[in-house]
Structure 1
Amino acid sequence: MGRRLGGFFSGLGRGLLPLRCLVCEEPGTQGLDLCPDCRADLPWNRAACARCALPLPRAAPRCGRCAGLALPQASARAVFLHAAPVDQLHRRLKFHGELAASRLLGQLLAEALATAPRPQALVWLPLHRARLRQRGYDQALELARPLARALALPLLAGRLHRRRATAAQSELDAGARRRNVHGAFAVRPGPPLPAHIALFDDVMTTGATLQEAARALRLAGVERVDLWALARA
């Protein structure tokens, strides 16, 4: 009861406090902690490859890298480029646990993905348990929660997991990234998974990690996996 009341009064407090832009601290607008000028500066990833979300001069069904490849995902959507001010908000969430940033980014994600093909459930790309213990929270989950709530999608917890820790992908080239995550994911036994799942991560770089997790979901019987991400590096 206390936890529910705490959540109620926390939500009430947010409703009574004035909106304040998390980027420049000017007044927020349109129900967001974001001012009109900073909203206009958001780096939307509108022209991209439909299979890997790679930014392109114009939107295309496949980029040159995806052509001819048998990919486990049906589509990929990265809402933003990993550039200012989204990269700053993401760092505040990832490294400082700033949940106000996750709330704002979740609202922007839901706005952009409301028109995407509708999955039956949302799954986030989980951290390995050792990294989760070290950080204390999973930034992808903190974004997936408000996104699932806003889109009224079930958020499937505990089924997809990392079987082993992997090296940081940022330190590796494209080939090494694929080898690094090969076989890193598995699906735990349980009820049949939905036929259509959206797999979410915070930042998509080459897509190797998301694709390996998508393969695990496909092997577990999922017919269609769409990749969703906050940003494309």
Structure 2
Amino acid sequence: MSRLGKEWFGLARLNLAGRLATLLRMPGQVMPAAFGRAAMRVLRLAVGVALSKERCLACYGLRATDSPVCDAVLCAACARELAPRLAGYCPSCGELYAQADDPPHLCAECLRTPKPWDSFFFHGPYAGLLKDILLAFKFRQGLGHARLLQALAAEAFFLRGGSGLPDLLAPVPLHPRRLAWRGYNQSLELARDLAHALDRPLCHSALMRIRHTPPQARLDARTRRINLLGAFRADEAQVEGRRVLLVDDIMTTGATIEQCALVLKAAGASVVDVLVLARA
């Protein structure tokens, strides 16, 4: 696809997303939940139809149809840029080390205080092309990226030793107020595709956000943890005695993931594994 063609397609996709997002967030209007879900399905369908099987899901350029990379969804250039981080990180929390070729080893914080989860899976640093895709996926209705991100998530799960399949997947939830503003939960969309790939049930109500909190982005690590106290509740009937895979898109300080894992364990989950796409 030419540069002009890619720009046109990108603008058309964002225009469609913008129209739907505006409709869903129109002040003073109450949209039925079924309409909102249908609108997002239309958006995903429109993007999926626009992409043929021969196009890279990151840049929309032509790719080799026999590529073995990431379930054959990337061109060679994007596959190199989206290669998983194989070294230079903490296997417990994904903290990234300055020396990217250091063997994986526990960071000082995890040695002092073990995390409340049992296993941690991530794809790579929150930077470059992965960051661009996640920003579009999270804030610009870029749900057309779901298939690519699911492939990256599945790759991270199996690449980092995820041999024990979960009993269920639980996305990090949004408060209903935030969900109404954004129109969708990006973690739920990611978990939906991943659950299909792993052939495991997705339980979107296993974990609920019961208290609205200010956005975490501008808060320091300590304030983030305080901000989230009492914000989540787990459904004991769904998680007791079960292995839960907690799914989110990005982990920064880990405050959100930590609170979710603690709540799941308190509700009786036997094992809580964590999967995020990017570590900031």
TM-score range, shorter chain: 0.7 to 0.9
- How many Å apart are 1:105 and its aligned residue? 0.9
The aligned residue for residue 116 of structure 1 is: 162
Asked which structure has the greater CA Rg, the reply is 2
| Runs of 4+ residues over 6 Å off in structure 1 | none
- How many Å apart are 1:129 and its aligned residue? 0.7
Comparing 31-40 with 102-111, greater Cα deviation is found at 31-40
The aligned residue for residue 59 of structure 2 is: 24
Q: Deviations over 1:33-61 (max 9, x none)?
A: 42111111115232221211111333444
Contiguous gaps of at least 5 residues in structure 1? none
Over 3 Å counting, the alpha-carbon distance change for 1:18 and 1:70 in structure 2 is closer
- How many Å apart are 1:70 and its aligned residue? 4.0
Higher helix share: 2
Equivalences for residues 53-132 of structure 1 within 5 A: 53-56=94-97, 57=99, 58-114=102-158, 115-118=161-164, 119-132=166-179
Q: Tell me which amino acid in the other structure corresponds to 2:162.
A: A
Q: Is the 8 A contact 1:43 1:83 kept in 2?
A: no
| Alignment RMSD | 2.5
Q: Deviations over 1:152-200 (max 9, x none)?
A: 1211121200111122211011111111112211113534534321111
Give secondary structure in 2 for the equivalent of 1:20.
coil
TM-score by length of 1: 0.87
TM-score by length of 2: 0.73
Q: Deviations over 1:94-150 (max 9, x none)?
A: 112122211111112112313414222211101111000011111111111111111
Over 3 Å counting, the alpha-carbon distance change for 1:102 and 1:16 in structure 2 is closer
Equivalences for residues 1-233 of structure 1 within 5 A: 14=49, 17-29=52-64, 30=67, 32-42=72-82, 44-47=84-87, 48-56=89-97, 57=99, 58-114=102-158, 115-118=161-164, 119-191=166-238, 193-233=240-280
- In structure 1, what is the Cα distance between the partners aligned to 2:239 and 2:199? 20
Contiguous gaps of at least 5 residues in structure 2? 1-37
Q: Is the 8 A contact 1:43 1:86 kept in 2?
A: no
Over 3 Å counting, the alpha-carbon distance change for 1:191 and 1:46 in structure 2 is same
